[in-house]
Amino acid sequence: PLLKVVSGISLHPKQLEEVVADSVAVNMVNTYYKTLAEFNKGNREWFVLAILCIELGVKPDKASAQELSALQMIASNITGNQAPLLNPDIKNAFEGAIKA
C-alpha cells in the first residue's frame, strides 16, 4: 500500500522512513547525552579536557608536553572559574532559534 498507518496517522512510505530516522537519531543523541552527562558529573576537568581535545583535534596520547600544558591550563580556567564551555554565540543562536 502507498500509505502506512502509524498511531492513527496515514503516512507515505518516504514520510514513514523520515519519522523512523528521526526517532533513531533522537535515541542516539539521547544515549550520547546520558553518557556525556555522567562523565561530566564524574570528573568535570577530565570531561572538559576531552571535549577540548576533540574540538582542537589533539590526540591526548600523541600531544606534546606544551599542548598538554596548554590544555590543562585552559581546562583548569574553565572548571575553576565555572566558566562556560559553550561559546556564548552558540547559546544565543540556540535561544534565538527556539523563539522564532
Q: How many domains, the chain?
A: 2
The CB density around residue 18, as the number of other CB atoms within 10 Å, is 12
In terms of domains, do 33 and 64 share one? no
pLDDT tens, position by position, 88-99: 899 999 999 999
In terms of domains, do 72 and 32 share one? no
Q: How many Å separate Cα 79 from the centre of its chain?
A: 18
What percentage of the chain carries pLDDT values higher than 90?
60
In terms of domains, do 68 and 97 share one? yes
**Structural domain of 65:** 45-100
In terms of domains, do 31 and 1 share one? yes
Across the range 46-59, mean pLDDT stands at 96
Q: How many Å separate Cα 94 from the centre of its chain?
A: 13
In terms of domains, do 19 and 67 share one? no
pLDDT tens, position by position, 6-40: 455 565 667 667 766 778 788 899 999 999 999 99
Judged against a pLDDT cut of 50, whether residue 3 lies above it is answered with no
In this prediction, residue 11 carries a pLDDT of: 59
In terms of domains, do 71 and 92 share one? yes
